[in-house]
A and B are shown apart, each in its own frame.
Chain A
């Protein structure tokens, strides 16, 4: 059974940092391109980052709104993908999902003073 479990969310003040973890199982993680997608309170979905596999040199891509603030990374030995979020803004408030063809259950991030 494929599982993706996100952790690390919570309430954080603007300008602070948070790191999300997505632990996976049930599929060949090492060859999967992994993504983070977020869903704002108004239910809009936004793709935010992708990391390719080793054969593609773990190349990363970001949506413009998070470039320079967020960093996606992976550890194939742990079948896990991460999202380091720095300089958080109130508009980053959302439920964050890690995805491949399957999606995790999501983790909520609230940025508020």
Chain B
């Protein structure tokens, strides 16, 4: 199975500041069809995960443009600018290029 390594485990940030989360895969996530199936989720405290970014850099419906995704191959980044209180929680990356889909172990975004 593809191993997804997320760093850091915990990320203290100041409100209004910027956060960056890394996700690295044990093999390339470029599918044979040319697409890269790397997605980002946020799980707010006490809630279920919600889709933020799909296929590396596409914001899901209703996601503010403070969230941006980038990367290619095996190295991906989620950036959050102007962090707001509602951004706090656990962030997970997911790859669905290879079977079975696998998640990263999560990054907790918390207030500094």
Contacts and interface: CB of A to CB of B under 8 A. Distances in A.
Interface in A91-113: 97, 101-106
Interface stretch (A9-17, A42-50, A77-85): A42-50
A61 B48 contact: no
Given A44-B103, A45-B103, A47-B103, A103 B92 contact: no
A59 interface: no
B48 A47 contact: no
Nearest to B48: A103
Contacts of B50: 102-103
A46 B104 CA distance: 10
Interface of A: prevailing SS? loop
Contacts of A106: 48
Contacts of A63: 100
Interface residues of A, number: 15
Nearest to A50: B101
A47 B100 contact: yes
A46 B49 contact: no
Contacts of B103: 44-47
Contacts of B106: 43-45
Which of A45, A61, A63 has the most C-beta atoms of chain B within 10 angstroms of its own C-beta? A45
Contacts of A105: 47-48
Contact of A61 (B47, B99, B102): B99
Contacts of A104: 48
B76 to A, nearest CB: 17
B90 A102 contact: no
A28 B11 CA distance: 38
Interface string A36-72: 0000000111110000000000000101100000000
A66 to B, nearest CB: 10
Contact of B49 (A44, A61, A64, A103): A103
B30 interface: no
B51 interface: yes
B12 to A, nearest CB: 18
B102 to A, nearest CB: 7
Nearest to B61: A101
